Amino acid sequence: MDEIATKKELADITLLIDRYISSVMGRAVTFVHRRAELVCDSISRSAAAQPLNITIPLEGDSPLHTTMSSGNTFFQESEHPLLSDIIYSQIGAPADRLLSITPFKCLGRVLAVTYGDFGSRHRAGVDIHLIAILVRHAGIVYENALYRKKFEKMLQTQY
- For the chain, the domains span 2-158
What class has domain 2-158? alpha beta
pTM: 0.90
Query: For helices 10-24 and 128-158, what crossing angle results, to 10°?
Result: 170
Tell me the Ramachandran region of residue 46: left when phi exceeds 0, alpha when psi lies from -120 to 50, beta otherwise: left
Please, which residues have CB within 8 angstroms of residue 6's CB and are 6 or more apart in sequence? none
What is the structure's pLDDT at 134?
94
What is the structure's pLDDT at 41?
84
Whether the pLDDT of residue 71 is over 80: the answer is yes
Whether the pLDDT of residue 31 is over 70: the answer is yes
Instruction: Indicate the pLDDT class of residue 124, thresholds 50, 70 and 90.
Output: confident
Instruction: Indicate the pLDDT class of residue 45, thresholds 50, 70 and 90.
Output: confident
More confident: 46 or 11: 11
What is the structure's pLDDT at 159?
67
Whether the pLDDT of residue 58 is over 70: the answer is yes
What is the structure's pLDDT at 47?
63
Whether the pLDDT of residue 1 is over 70: the answer is no
